[in-house]
Homo-oligomer: A and B are copies of this chain.
Amino acid sequence: MDIFEAIKKRRSIRKYKDREVEEEKILKILESARLAPSAKNLQEWRFIVVRDKEKRKKLSEAARNQKFVEEAPVVIACCAQNNEYRLTCGQLSYPIDVAIAIEHMVLTAVEEGLGTCWIGAFYEDKVKEILNIPEEIKVVELLTLGYPDEEPSFRDRLSLEDIVKWESWGG
């Protein structure tokens, strides 16, 4: 599937089939994250792949009771090590770098016929406790993964005119 196609096809999937995801596909998706670019090649990303039902249930509770987190056959806790480096522009590098790696997984999942959903609505301390994550590690996002059991319509977007400026912000 071509990239632009996958970008158009991607949806946030919150309903999954009761079907396991093949290990081979999970590994390919993780590999796509591994190859992501990062500031100074820091590769801050660390991923915990959770398939255990009991753990997914607990994660779902930590994610403000979003039931689909339990129902998805795979939940990936997307974490960051070395999370203090700041770019010259002032931004922390790790949220950006982890986000790039996650979106690689999201798009590769589309290509593999799978669905995902980015989840930022979770209590970090609870997730850390459930997955035994050391204090110095940040949990940036959870990502659900599985075979989609819904075809949500595309959410409205701002127009290109709204988000693009030419040569300068204004004036």
Contacts and interface: CB of A to CB of B under 8 A. Distances in A.
Interface of A: 1-4, 6-8, 10, 12, 27-28, 30-37, 39, 41, 43, 45-52, 55, 64, 79, 87-93, 95-100, 102-104, 106-108, 110-111, 118, 120-124, 127, 130-134, 137, 139-141, 154-160, 163-171
A55 B167 contact: yes
17 contacts: A3-B3, A4-B32, A7-B32, A7-B36, A27-B160, A30-B163, A30-B164, A37-B106, A39-B120, A48-B166, A55-B167, A95-B95, A95-B96, A103-B104, A131-B169, A132-B168, A132-B170
Contacts of A3: 1-3, 6, 32, 107-108, 110-111
Contacts of A28: 4
A40 to B, nearest CB: 9
Contacts of A111: 2-4
- As for how many copies of this chain the complex holds, the number is 2
Contacts of A92: 95
Contact of A89 (B87, B122, B158): B122
A94 to B, nearest CB: 9
A157 B106 CA distance: 20
Contacts of A64: 88
Contacts of A37: 10, 12, 106, 118
A141 B96 contact: yes
B88 A164 contact: no
Nearest to A81: B163
A55 to B, nearest CB: 7
Given A120-B88, A164-B30, A171 B96 contact: no
